[in-house]
């Protein structure tokens, strides 16, 4: 499924936040959005979800204008995965995942046996089937992030939006969540994630987009960032970016000089 943004612009009142934003992401690709605090990453995700309306420009989902789609139809195409720290309630993992089914059920309808089976299957795929009856508040942040991914997957949407999916996670959980995202990309999902960690973008994205002063200041492949210029300007730091052989993979790493 292909998502295309054409010349999107958005302002909060008189404050212009995004101007002339164009990009596209296809099935099997992951677009990482980088940008300093306040550069408009969350606003862009909210525009894609339809929570905000662009002032100008349009969004196309497989060539169809998203503005003309019904809310439910749009929800069936695009799923949003918030930060795990935003979830503070005491439902079970199973019930949390089943919430993702809501847009597909009739009004006041309850999830049935098939929905439960589907939830179990997804939890199994993500390696967290044993957590099914645990309370969401009582599992680790990384596990909770996987539950939120499961909640998005049961929605049957093929476009996944992740807002800083690894913020507030320890290193091992960051890797777990990013590896899961990579698997979903390989399965053909269309992925967009925002991150404050340039290395995550370099390692996991097929394309990187940098937002700065309402515009896209860079859009290209991770390898195009190897000379350091774009990221040094973005973070106002001297950086050392290298491609290295890890034994199993080639990875791009980023450390301060
Ligand atoms: P990021 O996710 O990159 O940190 P945001 O999209 O949250 O950036 O915010 C972009 C800019 O828009 C910031 O200057 C922020 O203060 C402003 N902003 C965000 N939400 C609102 C809002 N609801 N009303 C007014 N201004 C907002």
Q: Could you report the per-residue pLDDT of 74-123, keeping only the tens digit for each?
A: 888 999 998 877 777 789 999 999 999 887 777 777 888 999 999 999 99
pLDDT at 39 over 90: yes
pLDDT at 182 over 80: yes
User: pLDDT averaged over the chain?
Assistant: 92
pLDDT at 24 over 90: yes
**Ligand 1 center to 205 CA (angstroms):** 24
Question: Which pLDDT score is estimated for 156?
Answer: 87
Tokens of 202: 């370099």
Ligand 1 near 35 CB (within 6 A): yes
Ligand 1 near 246 CB (within 6 A): no
Closest CA to 53 of 71, 36, 39, 79: 71
Over range 161-179, report the average pLDDT: 88
Over range 138-167, report the average pLDDT: 91
Quick check: helix, strand or coil at residue 233?
helix
Of ligand 1's atoms, which has the minimum distance to the CA of residue 45? 6
**Ligand 1 center to 83 CA (angstroms):** 17
Taking CA atoms only, the protein residue closest to ligand 1 atom 7 is 42
- Which phi and psi (to 5°) does residue 178 adopt? -70, -35
pLDDT at 142 over 90: no
Question: Which pLDDT score is estimated for 147?
Answer: 93
Chain center to CA of 113:
29
Over range 220-247, report the average pLDDT: 94
Ligand 1 near 39 CB (within 6 A): yes
Question: Which pLDDT score is estimated for 123?
Answer: 95
Task: Give the residue ranges of DSSP H helices in the chain.
Answer: 41-49, 71-77, 93-99, 113-125, 141-153, 171-186, 198-204, 229-235
Taking CA atoms only, the protein residue closest to ligand 1 atom 21 is 12
- Looking at residue 111, what DSSP letter applies? -
Lowest pLDDT segment from 60-64, 70-74, 108-112, 248-252 = 108-112
**Ligand 1 center to 15 CA (angstroms):** 9
User: pLDDT over 90 for what percent of the chain?
Assistant: 74
Do residues 14 and 66 touch, judged by C-beta distance below 8 A? Answer: no
Choosing from 8, 9, 11, 15 the residue with most ligand 1 atoms within 8 A of its CB, the one to mutate for a pocket test is 15
Over range 184-202, report the average pLDDT: 94
Of ligand 1's atoms, which has the minimum distance to the CA of residue 40? 6
Which band of pLDDT confidence, cut at 50, 70 and 90, is reported for residue 31?
very high
Question: Which pLDDT score is estimated for 235?
Answer: 94
**Ligand 1 center to 48 CA (angstroms):** 15
Which band of pLDDT confidence, cut at 50, 70 and 90, is reported for residue 213?
very high
d(CA 103, CA 116): 15
| Angle at the Cα of 45 from the Cα atoms of 224 and 75, rounded to 5 degrees | 125
Ligand 1 near 33 CB (within 6 A): no
**Ligand 1 center to 7 CA (angstroms):** 19
- Residues shown for the chain: 257
Burial class (CB in 10 A: 0-12, 13-18, 19+), 199: middle
Do residues 167 and 83 touch, judged by C-beta distance below 8 A? Answer: yes
The tokens 């939830």 sit on which residue? 119
Question: Which pLDDT score is estimated for 95?
Answer: 94
**Ligand 1 center to 41 CA (angstroms):** 8
Question: Which pLDDT score is estimated for 256?
Answer: 92
**Ligand 1 center to 107 CA (angstroms):** 33
């Amino acid at each position: 499924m292909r998502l295309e943004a054409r010349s999107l612009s958005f302002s909060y009142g008189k404050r212009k936040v995004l101007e002339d934003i164009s990009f596209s992401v296809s099935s099997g690709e992951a677009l990482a959005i980088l940008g300093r605090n306040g550069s408009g990453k969350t606003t862009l995700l909210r525009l894609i979800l339809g929570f905000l309306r662009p002032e100008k420009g349009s969004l196309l989902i497989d060539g169809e204008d998203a503005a003309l789609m019904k809310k439910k139809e749009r929800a069936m195409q695009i799923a949003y995965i918030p930060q795990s720290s935003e979830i503070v309630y005491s439902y079970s993992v199973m019930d949390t995942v089943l919430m993702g089914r809501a847009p597909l059920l009739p009004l006041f309808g309850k999830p049935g046996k098939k929905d439960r089976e589907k939830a179990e299957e997804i939890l199994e795929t993500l390696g967290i089937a044993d957590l099914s009856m645990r309370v969401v508040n009582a599992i680790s942040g990384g596990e909770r992030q996987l539950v939120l991914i499961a909640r998005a997957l049961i929605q049957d949407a093929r476009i996944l939006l992740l807002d800083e999916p690894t913020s507030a996670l320890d290193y091992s959980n960051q890797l777990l969540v990013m590896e899961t995202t990579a698997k979903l990309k390989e399965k053909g999902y269309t992925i967009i994630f925002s991150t404050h960690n340039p290395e995550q973008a370099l390692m996991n994205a097929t394309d990187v987009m940098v937002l700065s002063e309402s515009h896209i200041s860079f859009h290209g492949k991770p390898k195009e960032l190897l000379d350091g210029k774009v990221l040094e300007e973005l973070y106002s730091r001297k950086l050392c970016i290298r491609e290295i052989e890890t034994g199993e993979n080639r990875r791009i790493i980023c450390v301060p000089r």
